Amino acid sequence: MLLLVIAAIGLTPAAQAVDIERWETEQGMRVLFAPAPTLPMLDIRLTFDAGAARDGDRNGLARLTSNALAHGTADMDADAVAERFEAVGAQFDTTSARDMGIVTLRSLTEADWLAEAIDVLTEILAAPAFPEDDLARERRQMLQALQRERQEPGSVASRRFYQLMYGEHPYGNPPSGSEDTIPTLTRAEVDAFFRQYYTAGNAVLSLTGAISRGEAEALAERIARSLPEGGRAPALPPVPELEGPVTERIAFPSEQAHIFMGAPVLRRDDADYYALTVGNHALGGGGFTSRLFREVRTARGLAYSVYSSVRPMAVEGPFLIGMQTGTDQIDEALQVLREELERLHREGVDPDELEASQANITGGFPLRLASNSDIVRNLGMMGFYDLPLDFLATHNDRIGAVTGEAVHEVIQRRIDPAALVTVVVGGEE
């Protein structure tokens, strides 16, 4: 019943204006707090610079460490962790990606229940046990997940796309690991990874809920003290520019071919974000109204799904075009994708496309703040990428201020249609 209550109130729309406060704890942990007094709930999100980009040559280490945090401590096994959280209706989770390792907790703010949830959280962060038996099971599950990925052409295409696009750069590390490294990852490596990257100085704590600033400060200090001491991870190296086109076709026994096309283009804190977002929306980020949808699906019937996106990260994240098409239509589909990107590069967007894209982006932006979990996720992103405190408040104004000339200029400067990685999975060799 308690979990149902939390799930229901977690979907309650939040106020569009988000009042955000920021500070650092004595241990150097960055904190972003947005009070939300109308719901008896608290969302906590810890974001660490501890994603797959920190794996080195030990692919899967970040993911294994993140997953293993739920295994408990020397005094509390995984079942006990789950039972203690469940007893007070709290929801605990961990995950990791290329940039981040993330720990989340959602709890009702009734004093005794919240106190118990925070007790369990800080015990885990202070002394994770990483039991050998649990790690062995986790390694088996990660290998099984890789086997499932091998059966999905979209997963095969995405993995190879990132490998070709980033090469030896840390972003080329697959977050899910690899078959040759996962079985060899040791408890000592997991423990060392945790103590190096899950530190107070390498963490952003975001809080949203029905607590006061004073309570948030006390909670932040307690969480920071539970973490290992340490500073921020060193900056990742910049991503080398692609010198020319790279195309790879991978045979796969499927009726549909999966296509990924793109290149590294944008850091998360880059001022070009707004103009590139508008341009991408016109190309393929706007669903039914986008050029790719009209030209690829509506006009030619080449695909049910086609899109483009910009995915900025700590260093240059990808601009990518993705689609699925019949294996007998691959060449035609690739030609249309390239023609549309070249046309955008050559001509930019027209006034109607600009206006429609801006209206769609700004109109949909409040949905990104529609619940406490949405807000805390945005706070974690802002803190992790060192975005200004007014990022959410000024987002729509900045999108609205983008001109057609700015879109054209940034597309020409940041995206070279003659230097893209293209991966096709499906059809014969």
pLDDT value of position 367: 87
User: 210 and 119: one domain?
Assistant: yes
Q: Convert the pLDDT of each residue in 154-187 to its tens digit.
A: 999 999 999 999 999 999 999 999 999 999 999 9
- DSSP letters for 276-309: HHHHHIIIIISGGGSHHIIIIIITT---S-EEEE
Same domain? For 97 and 167 the reply is yes
Please indicate, yes or no, whether residues 285 and 397 belong to a single structural domain of this protein. yes
Please say whether the beta carbons of 17 and 394 come within 8 A: no
Co-location of 293 and 419 in the same domain:
yes
pLDDT at 429: 63
319 close to 415: Cβ distance less than 8 angstroms = yes
Q: How far is 129 from 310, CA to CA, in rounded Å?
A: 39
Q: Which pLDDT belongs to residue 5?
A: 44
Confidence check: pLDDT of 3 > 80: no
Q: In which element (H, E) is residue 11 found? A: none
- In angstroms, the CA 257 to CA 154 distance is 8
Distances (CA, A) of 219 to 86, 101, 215, 372: 21, 20, 6, 18
Last residue of a domain, one of 192, 226, 260: 226
| pLDDT, averaged across the chain | 94
Q: Is 287 domain-assigned?
A: yes
Confidence of residue 195 (pLDDT cuts 50, 70, 90): very high
C-alpha to C-alpha distance for 307 and 362, rounded to whole angstroms: 19
Token duo for residue 19: 């009042």
Is-above-0.85 flag for pTM?
yes
Q: Which residues span the domain enclosing 193?
A: 2-226
Q: What is the pLDDT of residue 10?
A: 42
256-260, 307-311, 405-409, 425-429: range with lowest mean pLDDT: 425-429
238 in a structural domain = no
The burial of 99, by beta-carbon neighbours within 10 Å (0-12 exposed, 13-18 middle, 19 or more buried), is given as buried
Instruction: Give the other-Cβ count within 10 Å of 388's Cβ.
Output: 10
d(CA 35, CA 169): 39
Residues contacting residue 25 through CB under 8 Å, at least 6 positions apart: 31, 200, 220, 221, 224
The confidence score (pLDDT) of residue 1 equals 40
Confidence of residue 427 (pLDDT cuts 50, 70, 90): confident
Please report the pLDDT score of residue 274 as a whole number.
98
* Judgement on whether residues 261 and 175 belong to the same structural domain of the protein: no
Residues 6+ apart with CB under 8 A from 195: 228, 230
Q: Which of 84, 58, 60 shows the shortest CA–CA distance to 70?
A: 84
**Residues 276 and 313 both lie in one domain:** yes
Question: What's phi and psi for 92, nearest 5 deg?
Answer: -120, 140
Provide, rounded to the nearest whole percent, the portion of the chain with pLDDT above 90.
Answer: 90
**SS3 letters across 37-94:** CCCCEEEEEEEECCCHHHCCCCCCHHHHHHHHHHHCECCECHHHHHHHHHHCCCEEEE
- 162 in the same domain as 81: yes
Cα distance between residue 293 and residue 290, in whole Å: 5
66 and 181 fall within a common domain: yes
Distance CA 114, CA 378 (A): 23
Asked if residue 92 has pLDDT above 50, the reply is: yes
The reported pLDDT for the residue numbered 12 is 38
Q: Looking at the domain assignment, is residue 237 inside a domain?
A: no
Cβ atoms of residues 190 and 69 within 8 Å: no
Residue 236 lies in a domain: no
> In this structure, is residue 234 part of a structural domain?
no
Same domain, 153 and 285: no
Secondary structure of residue 348 in the 3-state scheme: coil
* Residues 367, 381, 176, 263, Cα dihedral to 10°: 90
**363 within a domain of the structure (yes/no):** yes
The per-residue DSSP string of 228-258 comes to PP--PPPPPPPPPPP-S-EEEEE-BS-SEEE
The average pLDDT across 44-73 equals 97
Looking at the structure, tell me whether residues 7 and 129 fall in a common domain: yes
Amino acid letter for position 390: D
Q: Is the pLDDT of residue 129 over 50?
A: yes
Domain for residue 255, yes or no?
Answer: yes
* Structural domains of the chain, count: 2
Question: What pLDDT score does 428 carry?
Answer: 77
**Percent with pLDDT over 70 in the chain:** 96
Q: Is the residue at 58 inside a domain? A: yes
In the prediction, which pLDDT does 8 show?
42
| CATH, residue 201 | 3.30.830.10
User: Do 320 and 260 belong together in one domain?
Assistant: yes
Asked if residue 269 and residue 179 are part of one domain, the reply reads no
Cβ neighbours around 125 below 10 Å, total = 22
pLDDT at 341: 97
pLDDT tens figures, 95-120: 999 999 999 999 999 999 999 999 99
The predicted pLDDT at position 179 comes to 96
